[in-house]
Amino acid sequence: MRNSIIKILIAVGIVAVVYFILRHYGITDEIRLENVPKIKTWVTSFGSIAPLIYIGLYLASTVFFLPGTPVTVLAGFIFGPLWGVFYASVASIISVSVAFLIARYVARDLVESWVKDNAQFRKIDEQVEAQGWRILMFTRLVPIFPFNLQNYAYGLTSLRFSTFVLVSAIFMLPGTAVFVQFGGAFVRGEGDILKTLLYLGIAGVLMLLLSLLPKLLRKYQTKL
C-alpha cells in the first residue's frame, strides 16, 4: 500500500509540474473554445512529442478543474478526426484514473469536503451500491454531474478502480468522438468551406444522436 501511495504522489507531482509549466506559458488562462487554434500552434510546436504535450494538457485540465471541452475539441484540430479520437481517449482515460486515485488514496478528506453536501453525489453513492457500474455508465453518457468533479467523487465510492477505468473508457468515447469531430472538421475541410460544412454537419448529427441517449436511459434517470 505504501509503495502504491508513493507512486500516486509521484504522479500527482508530475501533474503539478505540468500544470505550472502550462501556467507559466499562459496556457491555463487561454483554455477557451475561441483560443483552440492558438493552443494548437503551441502544442504542435513541440513536434514529435506533441501527443505527450496534449495528454499532459488534458491531464492538467481534468485534475485542476480547467475547461475540458476546448481540450477535447483541440485533439481534432491537431491530430484530425481519427487520430484525434485516439489521443483524446487515451488522455481522458489517464486523466480520470489519476483523479480517481487521488480521491481514494491521497486527498480523500479534501474531496469529501467538496461533495459532502451535494445531494446528487449522495444519490450516486447509493446507486453505486445498488447498481454498480451501471450508474457510472449513466453519468458518463448524461452530464448530470460535473465531469471533473465526478472523477474525484467516484474515488469515494465502493466502485473498483478497474471497473471505473473500463466503464469510463467505453462510455466516455461517444462524447469524445463528437467533440473531436468538430475540431477535425476544420482539418478535413482543408480550407474548403463546403467540405468543412459537410464535416461539421456530420459532427452535428453525432451530437444529436448523443443528445438522444438520455431518453434511452430514462429508467436510470428517474432514480437520480
Question: In this predicted model, what pLDDT tens digit does every residue of 99-151 receive, in sequence order?
Answer: 998 888 877 777 777 777 777 777 777 778 777 788 888 888 776 677 888 88
Tell me: pLDDT of 195 over 70.
no
Q: How many CB atoms lie within 10 A of CB 183?
A: 27
Q: Which long-range contacts (CB under 8 A, 24 or more apart) does 38-43 make?
A: 39/70, 39/74, 40/74, 40/77, 40/78, 43/74, 43/78
The per-residue pLDDT for 217 is 57
When divided into structural domains, the chain yields a total of: 1
Q: What is the pTM of this model?
A: 0.76
Amino acid identity of residue 48, one-letter, is: S
Angle, alpha carbons 79-85-88 (nearest 5°): 85
* Sign of the dihedral through C-alpha 164, 12, 10, 49: positive
Neighbouring residues of 70: CB distance < 8 A, sequence distance ≥ 6: 31, 32, 33, 35, 36, 39
Containing structural domain, residue 141: 2-108+117-221
Of 29-33, 38-42, 83-87, 96-100, the one with minimum mean pLDDT is 29-33
Buried b (16+ CB within 10 A) or exposed e, 7-31: ebeebbeebeebbeebeeeebbeeb
> Cα–Cα distance between 91 and 69 in angstroms, integer?
13
- In the chain, the percentage of residues whose pLDDT exceeds 90 is 21
Mean of all residue pLDDT scores within the chain: 77
Tell me: pLDDT of 220 over 60.
no
Tell me: pLDDT of 186 over 70.
no
Of 60-64, 79-83, 88-92, 121-125, the one with minimum mean pLDDT is 121-125
The per-residue pLDDT for 169 is 93
